[in-house]
Chains A and B, each alone.
Chain A
C-alpha cells in the first residue's frame, strides 16, 4: 500500500522556467510533509517542509503548496537551474514521530540549459 505517491517518474524543464513536482498521499494522519533532493550515490538532502496547519511555505526559489482536502502537495522551483537536476522525493510523517518518514517513489528532474 503506497501511502505517498509521486506519479511522474520524470520531468524535463528548460533552464529559467518553472518546475512543478507533484505528490499525493492517502493517510489522513500525516500532518508534516517534506521534500528531499537526492543526487546519485548520496543521501537525501532536506529542501523544504510544510506543516498541515499551513497551505504554503516558501524558501527562496522553492515553494511548497499543500491542499489537505485533495491530499495533494506540490513543489515549485522557479527559476529552475541545471544544478537542480536530481531526484526529488516527497515524504510525510506524523507529529508523534517526525523522523519516521514515508517516502514517495521519487521524480527525476532534468533541467536543460
Chain B
C-alpha cells in the first residue's frame, strides 16, 4: 500500500515561471491537504480539498496560488509567476475522511521548491 506520493521531490524555477506540484493520496483517501514549510519554521496549512471541491483555502495566498483535486488524477498545487519568497518545502497529506477516527492525516515526502 503506497503512501502519499509527491512529485517532483525537488523543483527549481526561475523568477516569473510557473511551478506545478503533484500529490497522489493514499489509496482509499479522498481528502487532501497542502502545507508549506518555510526555512526554520513549522508547517503552515494552505488548503483542504476533496475530489473536485475546495473545502478550506484559508491558508492560501490570495494571488498566484491555486489548487485542484480533479475526479481523476493527482491533486495539483500551482504557483504562477514564482518569486524568491515562494522557496519552501511543500507537503501534501491525505486522510480517509475529514473527521472522526479515520481522519488521521498521512504526509508525503514533500516537494522542495527553489526559486532562483
Q: Is the interface of A mostly helix, strand, loop or mixed?
A: strand
Mark the stretch among A11-19, A56-64, A69-77, A100-108 that contacts chain B: A100-108
Question: Nearest B residue to A36 by beta-carbon distance?
Answer: B107
Interface of B, secondary structure class, is: strand
Do A103 and B48 have beta carbons less than 8 Å apart? no
- Interface: A83 (CB within 8 A): no
Contact with A along B82-113 (1 / 0, CB 8 A): 00000000010111001110011111111010
How big is the A interface, by class? 20 to 34
Chain A CB within 10 Å — which of B99, B108, B112 has the most?
B99
Bound CA span A36–B91, Å: 14
- CB contacts (< 8 Å) of A96 on chain B: these are 98-99
Q: Judge whether B45 is part of the interface by a CB distance below 8 angstroms.
A: yes
Is residue A113 contacting chain B, with contact meaning CB distance below 8 A? no
